[in-house]
Amino acid sequence: MRAALFDVFGTLLDVYSVTRSADGMFPGHGARLATLWRDKQIEYSRVRSMSGRYVPFSQVTREALEFAVQAMNLPVDAVQLAALQDEYKRLAPFVDVAPALERLQRAGVQTGVLSNGDSEMLETALVTSGLHRYIDVVLSADQVRAFKTSPQVYALGPRALKRPADEILFVSSNGWDAAGAAWYGYTSYWVNRSGLPFEQLGVRPHVGATLLDAAEFLLAFPTRNQTETAA
């Protein structure tokens, strides 16, 4: 296994890093706003994908934000909404991300991202965070006009990397995403930073607490397979 694909939002980049700016605008409400915004973002992506009502993820993100501020009765104007939306261009990477990607790069592993984000959204976020230097391939759900966990989205990986799915490590911090990737056929790895239980979806991806754990899992994979075969 010499290739890995990573989810971006919530896995490489911390979507809750918007909390600081949100709290600056609405003191005492930043954490709740960030949580509701993220929950609605995921919900809207699923509803649109299931219903065949696709719009780019940037629009989903904006509409989820608009719902969140209305639900919380926050006084917000167009300038503030735009400023909050722009926070997705500056999301902070988790501290374990750059060391893990650098480790894989040094080992000659082909790395890419496979995300719900549309291409411009991804390129900006990866460049701003400095992670673009570690990424060989950027794959967007926008290419198939659907969102995860649609098999069409996961199919982008084997097509681009020219490898079967089980020879690609798919890494996500979203348990439902790791499950969807496993359903598709990837060797799937869940970065469980919060110590949550497995999703009850009839599948259990490999699991670890950090992205470095995922990197070491991939690099040890040939040895692990040989050991299991010998046993």
Three-class secondary structure of residue 154 per DSSP: helix
Residue 191 has a pLDDT of 98
* pTM summary value: 0.92
Instruction: Kindly report, residue by residue over 98-122, the tens digit of the pLDDT.
Output: 999 999 999 999 999 999 999 999 9
Three-class secondary structure of residue 12 per DSSP: coil
* 152 contacts 158 by C-beta, under 8 angstroms: no
Residue 230 has a pLDDT of 36
pLDDT exceeds cutoff 80 at 226: no
Domain regions of the chain by residue span: 3-13+91-230, 15-89
Question: Shortest CA distance to 19 belongs to which of 34, 37, 36?
Answer: 34
CA 195 and chain centroid, separation? 17
* 80 contacts 25 by C-beta, under 8 angstroms: yes
3-13+91-230: which CATH architecture?
3-Layer(aba) Sandwich (3.40)
Residue 227 has a pLDDT of 32
Task: Sort 46 into a burial class: Cβ within 10 Å, 0-12 / 13-18 / 19+.
Answer: middle
Secondary structure element (H or E) that encloses residue 93, with its range: strand 92-93
- In Å, the largest CA–CA distance within the chain is 64
Q: What is the dotted CATH code of the domain comprising 15-89?
A: 1.10.150.240
The residue length of the chain stands at 231
pLDDT exceeds cutoff 90 at 146: yes
Residue 228 has a pLDDT of 39
Task: Sort 33 into a burial class: Cβ within 10 Å, 0-12 / 13-18 / 19+.
Answer: buried
User: Catalytic residues, which ones?
Assistant: 7
- For the chain, what is the mean pLDDT? 94
Instruction: Kindly report, residue by residue over 167-209, the tens digit of the pLDDT.
Output: 999 999 999 999 999 999 999 999 999 999 999 999 999 999 9
Kindly indicate the confidence band of residue 222, based on its pLDDT and cuts at 50, 70 and 90: low
DSSP code string of 136-151: SEEEEGGGTT--TT-H
Pairing of strands 13-14, 92-93: antiparallel
pLDDT exceeds cutoff 90 at 225: no
pLDDT exceeds cutoff 60 at 139: yes
